[in-house]
């Protein structure tokens, strides 16, 4: 019987080197990831990250290890980290099972990248960025669009487009050509009447942890939050455009096409830091992974 072999640029690989190219995360993008910030206080917004990871693994039909309670998993991750300096954690989880779309098992493995954040999490003053619009490919709607998948070609292409056009980031549209997010962040539109709009999960954006934090905390700043489909034309009429993700917190868009935006969102960022404990309670989820009201 002929044994299968794995080759890398003409060299036959053995052992762990061969196994690393046989993982389903590499072969099919059959993986999830969770990007978090950790420091001496622990993992920021840990419950939001934990429950999103659990919901995503259920959606992907991955087996969740019985030992992965919120506290146990946090301890396991933090044991890998020197939190003397703030750092970014990228936890990747993938299904075992080898070649073929039909996995031979649903158990998982995980790995984590740890990168120091020299400027700390949620840098102040809030960074102001130039934003473009990526229209070459559209994002589907549905539960899989809300999940942080290992297969991220759409976001890679959007960032490449932004780089080629001297933008810091680019808006992504869904199949209905509605603005749902950027290549790196959730998107919020602030109007003059202090209404903050963002695309609902049914439109296909990532279910971001900082998105959930902003939705929860914005009323404390006197803002009304509405989740509704956002036309690309609304971006140019906005009072402010914000981008949010777990590592950078909130970024203020300074330029989008011919529109200029003047204010920064230091007030919101400071409120998020001050009120973080408000969100550190367990958040119940439905079986499909949605957050219950």
Angle (CA) 40 45 47, round 5°: 115
pLDDT for 293? 34
Distance CA 117, CA 81 (A): 13
Distance CA 50, CA 75 (A): 12
When the candidates are 3.40.390.10, 1.20.120.140, 3.20.20.140, 3.20.10.10, the CATH number that belongs to 128-279 is 3.20.10.10
What's the helix, strand, coil split of the chain in %, to 5?
30, 30, 40
Residue 255 buriedness (CB in 10 A; 0-12 / 13-18 / 19+): middle
pLDDT digits (tens, 9 = 90+) for 56-86: 999 999 999 999 999 999 999 999 998 788 8
Q: How many CA atoms lie within 13 A of 1 on its CB side?
A: 2
- Residues in contact with 180: Cβ distance below 8 Å, sequence separation at least 6, in sequence order: 139, 172, 173, 174, 187, 199, 203, 204, 205, 230
Do domains 15-116 and 128-279 share one topology? The answer is no
Residue 282 scores a pLDDT above 50: no
Q: Which pLDDT band holds residue 277 (cuts at 50, 70, 90)?
A: low
* Domain 15-116, second-level architecture: 2-Layer Sandwich (3.30)
- The segment with the largest mean pLDDT, out of 30-34, 126-130, 277-281, is 30-34
Distance CA 89, CA 112 (A): 7
Q: What are the sequence ranges of the domains in the chain?
A: 15-116, 128-279
Interaxial angle between packed helices 46-59 and 209-217, expressed in degrees from 0 to 180 and rounded to the nearest 10: 130
Q: What is the dihedral of CA 262, 168, 221, 231, to 10 degrees?
A: 90
Q: Lowest-confidence range among 3-17, 114-128, 193-207, 236-250?
A: 114-128
pLDDT for 113? 96
pLDDT digits (tens, 9 = 90+) for 136-147: 999 999 999 999
Average pLDDT, the chain: 85
pTM of the shown model = 0.86
Strands (E), the chain: 6-8, 11-13, 31-39, 42-43, 87-95, 108-116, 128-139, 169-174, 179-182, 186-190, 195-198, 224-227, 240-245, 249-256, 259-260
């Amino acid at each position: 019987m002929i044994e299968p072999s794995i080759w890398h640029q003409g060299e036959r690989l053995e052992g762990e080197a061969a196994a690393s190219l046989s993982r389903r995360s590499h072969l099919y993008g059959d993986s999830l990831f969770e990007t978090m910030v950790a420091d001496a206080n622990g993992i920021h917004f840990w419950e939001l990250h934990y429950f999103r990871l659990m919901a995503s693994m259920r959606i992907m039909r991955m087996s969740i290890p019985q030992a992965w309670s919120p506290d146990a998993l946090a301890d396991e991750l933090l044991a890998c980290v020197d939190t003397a300096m703030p750092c970014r954690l990228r936890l990747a989880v993938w299904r075992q099972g080898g070649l073929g779309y039909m996995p031979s098992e649903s158990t998982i493995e995980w790995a984590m990248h740890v990168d120091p954040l020299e400027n700390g999490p949620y840098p102040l003053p809030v960074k102001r960025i130039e934003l473009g619009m990526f229209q070459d490919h559209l994002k589907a709607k549905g539960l899989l669009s809300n999940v942080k998948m290992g297969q991220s070609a759409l976001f890679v292409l959007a960032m490449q487009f932004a780089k080629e056009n001297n933008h810091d980031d680019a808006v992504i549209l869904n199949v209905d050509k509605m603005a749902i997010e950027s290549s790196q962040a959730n998107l919020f539109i602030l109007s003059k009447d202090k209404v903050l709009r963002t695309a609902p999960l049914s439109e296909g954006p990532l279910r971001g942890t900082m998105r959930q934090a902003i939705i929860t905390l914005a009323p404390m700043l006197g803002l009304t939050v509405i989740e509704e489909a956002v036309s690309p034309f609304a971006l140019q009429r906005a009072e402010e455009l914000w981008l949010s993700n777990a590592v950078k917190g909130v970024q203020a868009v300074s330029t989008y096409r011919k529109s200029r935006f003047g204010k920064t969102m230091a007030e919101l960022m400071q409120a998020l830091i001050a009120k973080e404990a408000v969100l550190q309670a367990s958040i119940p989820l439905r079986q499909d992974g949605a957050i219950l009201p």
